[in-house]
Chains A and B, each alone.
Chain A
Amino acid sequence: MTDTTRTEPEAVPVTINGTAIEAKPGELLIDAAERHGVYIPRFCYHPRMRPVGMCRMCLVEVDTGRGPALQPSCMIPVAPGMTVDTESEATRKAQDGVLEFLLLNHPLDCPVCDKGGECPLQDQTLAFGPGESRMVEQKRHFEKPIPISDLVYLDRERCILCDRCTRFADEVAGDPLITFVDRGDHTQVNTFPDQPFASYFSGNTVQLCPVGALTAVPYRFRARPWDLEQVESTCTFCSVGCRIAVQSSTNRLVRHLGVDVDPVNWGWLCDKGRFGFEGVNSDDRLGRPLVRAGDTLAEATWAEALEAAAGAIRAGLDAGGPGAVAVLGGARLTNEDAYAWAKLAKSVVGTDNVDAQIGDGLPAEVVLGLPRATIDEVCAARTVVLLGPDLKEELPVLYLRLRDAAVEKGVRIVEVSPHDTGLTEVATVALRHRPGEAAAAVRAALDGAGDDPRVARAAELLAEGDVAVVLGRPSLAEAPDAVVAAASLLAARLPGVRFLPVLRRANVHGALDLGLAPGVLPGRVDLDAGRPWFEARWGAVPASRGLDATGILTAAAEGAIETLVLLGADPLRDFPDARLAQGALERVPRIVAVDCFLTESSRRAHVVLPAAAFGERSGTTTNIEGRVSVLNQKVTPPGTARADWMIAVELAHRLGADLGLDSLDGIWAEIESVAPAHAGLARARLLAADGLDGVVVPLSDHHEAGADRRPLAQTEAPEVTAADTHMGPESVATTLPGGETVPSVPRSPSGASGATMPEQIAEAAAAGDAAREAEAPEEAAALEAAAQQAAVEAATEDAGEGDVSAPVEHGPDRPPLLAFEPVEAGPAPPVDAYSLRLVSGRKLYDQGTLVQHAPSLAGLAPGAHLRVNPYDLDRLGLHTGDGATLRSARGSVVVEVEADPGVARGSALLPFNQPGVSAAALIDATARVTEVRLETRAGGGGA
């Protein structure tokens, strides 16, 4: 499609409506025109998908030297000397004709259509359409609307067959489950018989739909677009950090829309992120503090509850010292919350038994110390090694980005995993290994050892260099040491290799960055290395390294923990080893829970403090890349629930300390001045136009390119919806991120319509460029100093005087950032020929708290089948569909088995936290691998 780019000069001179412009080589005419203020109407074109030229709305007269001819501007790359007339009589007649054709069979039921008010077809018709129809015949009729999945309804009468949803499903999501059926004016979009559009990304089709043909169950008939209020924020339903528009009506969240940012989500969202807001709206949300009175939790005032919580912590300290208090969880928190809690735990309470991960991730030192890659860098590498979980299940939009890299850009994927994942089909090489043998598999791939052609191919690819590694925890039934050793090998053998750590929970990366992990302090600093610096700023720092989640629960089960603070953690549900979690929570004398819901774990607490959830608080969050981006509050929390940092401040106060934190700005200013990884990142920058895509920390390593940001509306009146701004109504005022209101201009006969939206945005972007240029690497130091100065001022202004946060003028040097220390691979666990090794990973929909409180998502958890390689199943005399007992040293469960050649021989794959079957009942979190035996239920054979 881009033949013309071969030997093009830097700029391509094109004349549009008599004005000479310079287009980019290979740029499509429709984009070039838009960048220069000429908006050509369109329905099927979408900049993130391959153009198809189907709707014909963008026909314009193009003259390439052979006389003017009507051409679809979405399919034509600019060519030197091209003359374009978007306002000629022929162009107008063709476009009016297409609009009339599109309306012929369109029901015009705008008053009852969810899209009414934000509908490109409606807007185009209002602006340019005929006053009345020339068609007097019956319109086409279909059954209205039909469910095509659990989440999406399709009204085929409204559909204008633009191919956006079907293209998205096929090209972007890789789930080609909807397609065109029939032909002519009976053409319809539909699913295949008996095969619903069960895609994790189905909600994107609703957002892409230029009419109201596709509607989402959670939003249908809930609001009219003109009643919606909107802020731009970052999704925290996983850790990818997709930018979203959060929309509310009457103080309830009603819709999330993807916002198109280049470095992260390109406008896409997964359905969990898109529809998870239902959980926030749940009636089960905690709105009042609860304090235990005998067997029940009774509502209490904040004063009573905080006093009780502080009392519990004090009692723990009195009984066993700081080491007897532990804080588990914190991934749900914002960066500001996490910092406040880290400061409370490590400085005021004095414990290092703090872990935001719940035994399901990787050691913090590894995550923080490895050289980090951005998503863009991974997607631009020649070869990507996947060493972690199934990204389609855990970080869906990262899966989309990697799939695009592999399919569209030819990036070679080497997948090292115990089982097939969503990316296997686009991987160049897929290497299977048993749990505990990841390092051996990676070593073989690096050496090209053995006679497996796949291993040899992997070795070739790795030897060619330019490798990025996506590193995560492949299985909850396997200790992280195997994959850490594998990563160590890659780091040692591949110079320049970078890693994208893929811990999945909300802001877990921000929590680790800000010290909610044992052995680290805020800003990616080692506890010992940072002690002098932080002692000077915080007053006190734990004397020695504490326990991680598994350590905390083990200690608790042994009676060594006196008070356990659950910071949004539900170990009974989420910790991989159910028996250990059970034992711990039964034994620990005092539990303080800070949560949005009463979970299995928080039900056992002595004090429950209600916290604000997503959409109810502002702050910042950090994604897998270390990208810090802004969260914005849209609705108020239920009852008296409040932000976690406020709870930390209050608790500190009742423990006799002043955290010195009293506003989000103040907390950020302190983070910026105290945390080495965050030095120089002023909050103002995150709020500026070029910071809205987020800024990757630490700054000295990464300089952000925000200039390519697409025009996005952050608007009070959301007639212009998020990623579809370019399709928005032509006469609507759009508020730019900077707050400037820009009326976009309708197509005018004269063409002299002045500056239109894209121009204004270009100007804004240029201003951002200029601002950013000042931050060239060589000036970083100076800037950092200036930023610190600003931070000092901010802290003084906001946080009052005389608190521990005031930066120290002279004192210890800023500690260095953590560096990764390679781990030798130990010998692989010995093979037990009678056992299979358990592999357990997450599914997108599970029994997680938010999913279960989102009515539309709660039923989507697929349940658990045990997947075993057919070779092993044959050996055991079992067949797909058979029931069997799966037994480990910890316990046993009854499962239905399914043959799956994608599972490595000698392993058994059982999804985690699914209804019906508890994988956690089998897993031993203290062992390197969990061996299981599969027994037929008749009591016959066994493995």
Chain B
Amino acid sequence: MAVTDAPRIVTARFEYDDSHTLSRYLATGGYEGLRAALAKTPEEVTDEVKAANLLGRGGAGFPAGVKWGFCPPGVFPRYLVINGDESEPGTYKDRLLMERDPHQLIEGVLIASYAIGVAQAFIYVRGEMALAQERLVAALNEAYEAGWVGRDIDGSGFSVDVLLHWGAGAYIVGEETALIESLEGRRGFPRLKPPFFPAAKGLYLQPTVVNNVETISNLPWILRNGGAAFDALGTERASGTRMFAVSGHVKRPGVYEVELGVTTFRDIIYAPVYAGGIRDDNALKAFIPGGASAPWFFEEHLDLPLDQTAVGPAGSMLGSGAIVVMDETTDAVRAAFSLVRFFSHESCGKCTPCREGTGWLEKIVRRVLAGSGRPTDIDLILDVVDNISPGPYPRAGTGSLGAEPVPFPPRQTTICPLGPSVGAPLVSAIHRFRDEFEAYIERAGTPVTIAGPAPVGGAAS
């Protein structure tokens, strides 16, 4: 067990009931990071963030400071967009950051705006997050009133406006180009990259930086304590701390901020201060390491560190920081079905393979579960996945079977990664639990009574 005593960077104020207010924020070091930033040049701020080696917390894990540098020089206006459309099943860290520490996010937005040269920043919040919206509005009003946002901030001559925008209930706008379309007032359809790389042609076809809520929430601490202090945490390739939302069959589901690189999956799932182990001390069947789009991991992956450079080659990703744990009572086919149904439901409908393919896969698995499976269905599922995501699909090596892992990410015939994501649960489940699919198919025609996962409720501490 390597539960470290690393400081909590973004969740430090969560212990206070009034953590969302300006008074509490100012009393706990609030807006000092911004002051520190304004005392530097924008280039120095960017360098500080680069020094911190702050990787994006939204899923792709790209270094934040480097991303800012992709905006073509001299092209203005440019925009900063904060992606707060956290919608993946099992992912709920950004919501807590917006609900419990909205000023920290706003301060981060101001620091990033200053570094990038932005006069208008947008925070796009998922439509369903009512409390987060309420608190962000209140916090932003407080910050405007106190002069932290708006014209000539803190007498520095730097001005920026922050605008809030609510989503309308589509998972797809978590994809950055779809989010930009939605922000422009259109249907949330992803744009094709190339040519619409946001850094070059983003919001209103101007250079745009899209950052995740958690990524940006780290900036006040980094500016207060220095990039080096941040980089000193974790390992060389996985700096700082990161929030993980643990759910599923664990005793203490919740969001935990842990030190990257040194903490392992076993730590976060089993350590008493974190998720506290599997409910009823059952055996682990599988776990999803990084949200619904991540291929599944199994018992033998528990000792992998929380570090994308270790998780990727092993066939999955840290993604959105959602760890979903399935114990031995879980029906793998049903578990996969519930995720396939999610992707089918959330497919935006823009490009053919995802629109038609996810729907078809949902129908096939539903039919298998209903007892009308055919022996050819397993190969059919894999071939349909192959038509959405051609080539070997990323998956964990299953030590027991001796297969080599296929590294992340998947390839795609689609515009965005949503379509290929449908392969993650299916390929993982078929590869490891093919016998369960076959059991459904062999017993076609008779009711199947594999026990489904029991409700999680009572197991949490």
From B76-84, B146-154, B218-226, B407-415, the one touching the partner chain is: B407-415
Indicate with 1 or 0, residue by residue over A755-784, a CB within 8 angstroms of chain B CB atoms: 000000000000000000000000000000
The reply to whether B347 and A97 contact each other, CB–CB distance below 8 Å, is no
Binds A, one of B118-126, B159-167, B187-195, B299-307: B187-195
A70 near B390 (CB under 8 angstroms)?
yes
For the complex, is A75 an interface residue (Cβ under 8 Å from B)? yes
B232–chain A nearest beta-carbon distance, Å: 35
**Could you tell me if B352 and A54 are in contact, using CB atoms closer than 8 angstroms?**
yes
Cα-based distance from A96 to B387 in the complex (angstroms): 9
**A70-B413, A100-B387 as given contacts; A184 in contact with B349, CB under 8 Å:** yes
Supposing A72-B192, A184-B345, A185-B344 touch, asked if A94 and B387 sit within 8 A by C-beta, the answer is yes
Residues on the B chain within 8 Å of A104, using CB: 356, 359-360
Complex interface: chain B residues within 8 A of A1 (CB): 195
Question: Are A98 and B359 touching (Cβ within 8 A)?
Answer: no
Q: Are A183 and B390 in contact (CB under 8 A)?
A: no
Indicate whether A797 reaches chain B with its CB closer than 8 angstroms: no
Which residue in A3, A94, A96, A183 is a CB contact (below 8 Å) of B170? A183
Question: Contacts of B356 on A, CB cut-off 8 Å?
Answer: 101-102, 104-105, 185
Contact B380 A134 (CB under 8 A): yes
Q: A137-B363, A182-B349 known; A3 and B195 CB under 8 Å?
A: yes
Task: Tell whether A276 is near chain B: CB-to-CB under 8 Å.
Answer: no
Instruction: Say yes or no: B353 contacts A56, CB within 8 Å.
Output: yes
Residue of A nearest to B374 (CB): A136
Indicate whether B247 reaches chain A with its CB closer than 8 angstroms: no
Q: Mark A905-924, 1 if CB is under 8 A from B, else 0.
A: 00000000000000000000
Whether the Cβ atoms of A180 and B346 lie closer than 8 Å is no
Q: Is A56 in contact with B349, judged by CB distance below 8 angstroms?
A: no
User: Is B351 close to A, CB under 8 A?
Assistant: yes
Chain A residues with Cβ below 8 Å from B346 are: 183-184
Task: Give complex CA distance A52, B367 in Å.
Answer: 34
A59 within 8 A of B: yes
> Which A residues touch B357, using CB under 8 A?
101
- CB pair A93–B387 under 8 Å, yes or no, is yes
Q: Does the CB pair B349–A75 fall under 8 Å?
A: no
The answer to whether B355 touches A184 (Cβ under 8 A) is yes
Nearest A-chain residue to B193, judged by Cβ: A75
A546 at the interface (CB under 8 A from B): no
- 8 Å CB interface, B193-246 against A: 194-195, 200
Q: Which of chain A's residues has its CB closest to B388's CB?
A: A97
Partner of A183, one of B348, B363, B387: B348
Per-residue interface assignment for chain B, residues 357 to 392, with 1 indicating a CB less than 8 Å from any chain A CB and 0 otherwise:
111100110010000000000001000001110100
Write the chain A residue with the least CB distance to B387: A97
> With A and B bound together, what is the CA distance between A385 and B411 in angstroms?
52
Checking A56, A93, A183 against B414 with a beta-carbon cut-off of 8 angstroms, the contacting residue is A56
Set of chain A residues within 8 Å of B387, measured between Cβ atoms: 93-94, 96-98, 100-101
B353, B356, B387, B414: residue with the most chain A Cβ atoms closer than 10 Å = B356
Identify B353's interface contact among A69, A98, A187, CB under 8 A: A98
Q: Are A75 and B194 in contact (CB under 8 A)?
A: yes
Inter-chain contact total with CB atoms closer than 8 Å: 106
Given contact pairs A98-B353, A101-B353, A102-B356, A184 touches B344 in the complex (Cβ within 8 A): yes
Asked if B350 CB lies within 8 Å of chain A CBs, one says yes
Chain A, Cβ-Cβ closest to B347: A184
Query: A49 in the interface, Cβ–Cβ < 8 Å?
Result: no
In-complex Cβ contact of B195 among A70, A75, A161 (8 A): A75
Q: A100 vs B353: C-alpha distance in the bound complex, in angstroms? A: 9
- Distance in angstroms from A71 CB to nearest chain B CB is 9
A31 CB, nearest partner CB in chain B, Å: 16
Q: Which residues of B contact A59 (CB under 8 A)?
A: 413
- Binary contact track B395-426/A, C-beta < 8 Å → 1, others 0: 00000000000000001011100000000000
A56 touches B413 (CB 8 A): yes
- List residues of chain B with CB within 8 A of the CB of A97: 353, 386-388, 413
In the assembled complex, the CB of A878 is this many whole angstroms from the nearest CB of chain B, namely 36
* A window 297-348: CB within 8 A of B: none
**How many angstroms from the CA of A55 to the CA of B367 in the assembled complex?**
27
> Contact at A55–B352, with CB atoms within 8 Å?
yes
Which one of A93, A98, A136, A138 contacts B352 once the chains associate, using CB atoms below 8 Å?
A98
Counting chain A residues whose Cβ lies within 8 A of the other chain, the interface size class is 35 or more
**Is A135 interfacial (CB 8 A cutoff)?**
yes
The answer to whether A70 and B411 have CB atoms under 8 Å apart is yes
Known: A53-B415, A56-B414, A137-B364. A187 touches B349 (CB 8 A): yes
A179 to B186 CA separation, bound complex (whole angstroms): 11
The verdict on A90 contacting chain B, using a C-beta distance below 8 Å, is yes
Pairwise interchain contact B347-A185, C-beta atoms closer than 8 A:
yes
A56–B351 CB distance below 8 A: yes
Q: How far is the CA of A183 from the CA of B342 in the complex (A)?
A: 12
In the bound assembly, the distance between CA atoms of A670 and B23 in angstroms comes to 94
A98 pairs with B348, CB closer than 8 A: no
Residues of A within 8 A of B380 (CB): 134
User: Known contacts A94-B390, A183-B347, A183-B349: does B192 contact A161 (CB below 8 Å)?
Assistant: no
Tell me, rounded to whole Å, the shortest Cβ–Cβ distance linking B70 to chain A.
14
A77's nearest neighbour on chain B, judged by CB, is: B195
Tell whether, in the assembled complex, residue B355 and residue A161 are in contact, meaning their CB atoms are under 8 Å apart.
yes
- In the complex the two chains form, is A94's CB within 8 Å of B358's CB? no
A69 CB, min distance to chain B CBs, angstroms: 8
Could you say which residues of chain A place their CB within 8 Å of the CB of B358? 184-185
Known: A104-B356, A134-B380. A93 touches B390 (CB 8 A): yes
> A72's closest neighbor in chain B, by CB?
B192
Contact B351–A184 (Cβ < 8 Å): no
Known: A102-B356, A180-B187. A185 touches B414 (CB 8 A): no
Output the least CB separation between A182 and chain B (Å): 7
Q: For the complex, give the distance between the alpha carbons of A495 and B253 in Å.
A: 78
CA A90 – CA B387 in complex, angstroms? 10
Complex Cα distance, B201 from A3, in Å, reads: 11
Residues of chain A from 391 to 426 with CB closer than 8 A to chain B in the complex? none
- The distance in angstroms between the C-alpha atoms of A183 and B189, with both chains bound, is 10
CA of A97 to CA of B388, assembled, Å: 8
Q: Given that A90-B390, A137-B364 are contacting pairs, would A184 and B413 also be in contact in the complex, using a CB cutoff of 8 Å?
A: no
Q: Is the CB of A161 within 8 A of B411?
A: no
Could you tell me the distance in whole angstroms from the C-beta of B47 to the nearest C-beta in chain A?
28
Cα–Cα distance between A93 and B357 once the two chains are bound (Å): 14
Q: Which of chain A's residues have a CB closer than 8 A to the CB of B355?
A: 101, 161, 184-185, 187
- Binary contact readout A62-78 vs B (1 if CB under 8 angstroms, 0 otherwise): 00000001101001100
User: In the bound complex, how far is the Cα of B445 from the Cα of A697, in angstroms?
Assistant: 78
Q: How far is the CB of B444 from chain A (nearest CB, A)?
A: 13
Whether the pair B353, A75 counts as a contact (CB closer than 8 A) is no
Q: List which B131-156 residues lie within 8 A (CB) of chain A.
A: none
The B88-132 residues at the A interface (CB cut-off 8 A) are none
Residues of B within 8 Å of A69, CB to CB, are: 411
Q: Which residue in B195, B347, B350, B367 is a CB contact (below 8 Å) of A54? A: B350
B415 to chain A, nearest CB (A): 7
> A93-B390, A185-B359 in contact; A101/B347 too (CB < 8 A)?
no
Interface string of A511-533 (1 = CB under 8 A from B): 00000000000000000000000
The CA-CA distance from A138 to B387 in the complex, in Å, is: 21
A88 to chain B, nearest CB (A): 11
- Sorted nearest first, the 10 A-B pairs with minimum C-beta distance are A97-B387, A187-B349, A185-B359, A101-B356, A184-B347, A137-B363, A183-B349, A53-B192, A101-B352, A56-B352
Known: A90-B390, A93-B387, A137-B364. 4 other contacts (CB 8 A): A93-B386, A98-B387, A138-B363, A185-B356
30 examples of A-B residue contacts, CB within 8 angstroms: A52-B192, A53-B351, A54-B351, A54-B352, A55-B352, A56-B413, A75-B192, A75-B194, A75-B195, A93-B387, A94-B387, A97-B353, A97-B387, A97-B388, A100-B387, A101-B356, A104-B359, A104-B360, A137-B367, A179-B187, A180-B187, A183-B347, A184-B344, A184-B348, A184-B349, A184-B358, A184-B359, A185-B347, A185-B359, A186-B349
Question: Residues on A close to B: CB < 8 A?
Answer: 1, 3, 52-57, 59, 69-70, 72, 75-76, 90, 93-94, 96-98, 100-102, 104-105, 134-138, 140, 160-161, 179-180, 182-187
